[in-house]
Structure 1
Amino acid sequence: MKFFFHALGGAVALGLSLSAVAGPDWYVIEKARNAKRAEAQQLKAQQAEDHTAMRRDHAAMMQKCREMMGQPK
C-alpha cells in the first residue's frame, strides 16, 4: 500500500512539473510582442499628432505676438 501511495505521489508530482519542463509558450510570447508593438505604434502616432498641434499653436501664438508688437502704444 505504501508503494502505491509513493507511486501515485510521484505520478502527480511528475504531472504537475511537466508544464515547467515543457519550455516557453511561443504563441503567448509572440502575442505579447505584437501587442507591445501595436501599443508603441499607437503611442508614436499620438506623439506625432501632439507635436503637430503644438507647432500649429506655437505658430499662431507667434503671429499674435508679432501683431501686438507692431501696434503703436
Structure 2
Amino acid sequence: MLKETTVNRELKAYRAKNGLTQKDMANIIGVDETTYHLKENGKRTFNIREVQTLKSKTGMSNEEAIVIFLK
C-alpha cells in the first residue's frame, strides 16, 4: 500500500472539492492519465509549469498551491 503524502492527500481533496477526476487533471496539464496518477501519488513530481497550469485553469489560489505542493 502506498503511503499517503501531504501532496496526494491535499490534491485529492482539492480535486473532490472541485468535481475533477484524475483524467480531467491530466488533460489540464497535458499528460496522460497514468502519468498524472503517478504524480498525484508521489511517484513522480509536478514541475512548475504543471503547477502554474493547474492554478490558472482550475482557479487554484496561491494559498491552495502552497498547501498542496510545498508542505
TM-score range, shorter chain: under 0.3
Higher normalized helix content (fraction of residues): 1
Q: Which has the higher contact order (CA 8 A, sep 6+)?
A: 2
Q: TM-score of the superposition, structure 2-length normalised?
A: 0.20
